[in-house]
Structure 1
């Protein structure tokens, strides 16, 4: 089955690669025919962070075309963050790698008769090319790259070394006649009053913490072990920063699989452990109540942008040709490792970054 699936993929890739030269869109120009009931499919079948940095595009398209139907393709890798898109989309399709799933998805996409399909990736993707083809959409829009032949329209790919991913994706608004420079590109994340109430109750479980204290969260998880800072490093950072700024209440959180590690960090550092979240949405709502965040987790980084929370973020920056996905539109400090792993970043560099951010954002207690 795997060999058959690969053969089908190669066949689709050959077909889509033979399309004519796409139209290059470099200025605000309404080149796409937009009916009131137009159907737009957006492809975002990659990671959780990719979904979060894309939310502003969904919101902007909905604002300009309120009667349009917006749908999205996610995947098993990022379906956990589907709540971020629910205010904007009607249907969430899920891409899975098996041949049977692809055939079922093909049927589902064609049944919707999409007018436009938008590939949100800014690197060549065989999966996006496949989905473009099976959608049968009249317009296929993407960012200019190696496989641009799969599109009918492309926008110029900005310099990935110097231009933030949010701005690079925002160029996809140009063919709709939308000027991205006139739009709010901040990532979004929806919360209800009940969501916030439940999150507040979690923080109130520890009666020893003053409700007037600024809340800081150390989220210790990363996408894998090499993207984590480690127990000892995190404890060292918390010991120093809690001693310097005792008025700030520190909480430790993690993904469920790192709960034991988070508990050790909190206990040894004298911080408060947050109970494991049952979903990404629950974790996001808790994070929204923080005044400061410290983390190596890039998905958490994009939530700090959505909620406008100052953050100190640890990055692995080993590719000089690609800007890390820094927070967008909010105060932050980035601590980066060019070689080795994130755990090689000196703890005192992180302490210094936290101290600068605390001073700059007014979280320091005046005498």
Structure 2
């Protein structure tokens, strides 16, 4: 009952905010953006949400050279922290105190433009946009569009990649771009990249094709199963390749049940160290979309396992990268059999093994 009352009050407050903003009207033209313009991008939630937002952020910096701030979540702020195109990253703290703190920051920094990078409606972000005193507020045309001063069409989520949907916001900045300019904007630290290369060279002194298999995902529903991973690895033993397993801390015991510990990349809470290892592989197998997006940075071919449960949205495919996948409409990956994976994955890896051999000739 209390939950229903809370939801009703939220809807009531949002309705009031929409009405009050509607009375103020909108601007008929887009703002002129210079190197002194201060732009605040807002992207809360998870790692993958942050990663798919980075192409727009990097493009805006490249095309306008404005000052860029990012309001992120405690679960994804590190995605933005080493980005040379971002001047400052602010971590959103939940609760009234955190909300007031952000409003003060916006006022003190004299933010010129605030941009909602969310493809769907966030109640928290809607409140923030509605009450913040910023002249220009950009967003996709959604049911909360009255809180923005400028909107662009939200592309159909069933037929357009999430990155392309976010990139629609570039129209409000008045620049164009080429498709091949687009890439995930994550910037690993040099020391972690060097360390990753050393770790892999020590594990695998001989130069061979390196297949990375990531077993972890954001939820247990996307863990494919110890025995299934073991079966796939057994099938791959006939190929002259190395296999390196990636896992997060919670799945480390499962990883040791799948493969000898010496073939597991060192597990760390440091996302940057994990990314640096993934970027060394020649091909990636993964059920996790954030890791798939990371691989796409270097155009590493990807084979993915996807859950598409009760949604018509396009799955979060790697961008500008060769891939294949299996998609289930069940809530977990449990119904995807080894035989199904074998039929699609084996031809996929063989194609890239052949391509790798051809480049050496």
Alignment TM-score, normalising by the size of structure 2: 0.90
Q: Which among 259, 266, 284 is matched to residue 266 of structure 1?
A: 259
- Residues 157-191 of structure 1 deviation map (CA, whole Å, 9 limit, x = unaligned): 11111110111111100011112446612212213
Query: Cα offset for 1:8?
Result: 9.3
Mapped to 2, the partners of 1:348 and 1:24 lie a distance apart of 57
- Residues 280-305 of structure 1 deviation map (CA, whole Å, 9 limit, x = unaligned): 01101111111011111111011011
Mapped to 1, the partners of 2:78 and 2:36 lie a distance apart of 29
Structure 1 pair 306–134 and aligned structure 2 pair: CA distance change class (3 A): farther
Q: What's 1:313 paired with?
A: 304
Query: Cα offset for 1:79?
Result: 2.4
Q: What's 2:250 paired with?
A: 257
Contact 2:210 2:243 survives alignment (8 Å): yes
Q: What's 1:325 paired with?
A: 316
Is 2:234 the counterpart of 1:239? Answer: yes
- Residues 6-63 of structure 1 deviation map (CA, whole Å, 9 limit, x = unaligned): 89966763443122287699xxxx7222233000000101211011111111111111
Mapped to 2, the partners of 1:310 and 1:48 lie a distance apart of 20
Is 2:165 the counterpart of 1:168? Answer: yes
- After superposition, the CA RMSD in angstroms is 2.7
Structure 1 pair 357–307 and aligned structure 2 pair: CA distance change class (3 A): same
Secondary structure in 2 aligned to 1:258?
helix
Secondary structure in 2 aligned to 1:128?
helix
Query: Cα offset for 1:308?
Result: 1.1
Q: Which runs of 4+ in 1 moved over 3 A?
A: 5-12, 21-25, 180-183, 362-367
Mapped to 2, the partners of 1:80 and 1:230 lie a distance apart of 29
Gaps of at least 5 residues in structure 2 are none
Q: Which has the higher contact order (CA 8 A, sep 6+)?
A: 1
Mapped to 1, the partners of 2:282 and 2:27 lie a distance apart of 43
Q: What's 2:210 paired with?
A: 215
Mapped to 2, the partners of 1:348 and 1:83 lie a distance apart of 41
Matches within 5 A, 1:48-197: 48-66=47-65, 68-83=66-81, 86-181=83-178, 184-197=181-194
Q: What's 1:335 paired with?
A: 326
- Residues 181-226 of structure 1 deviation map (CA, whole Å, 9 limit, x = unaligned): 46612212213443321111111332xx343111111110011111
Contact 2:284 2:300 survives alignment (8 Å): yes
Alignment TM-score, normalising by the size of structure 1: 0.88
Mapped to 2, the partners of 1:242 and 1:135 lie a distance apart of 58
Contact 1:109 1:134 survives alignment (8 Å): no
Deviates most, 37-46 or 229-238: 229-238
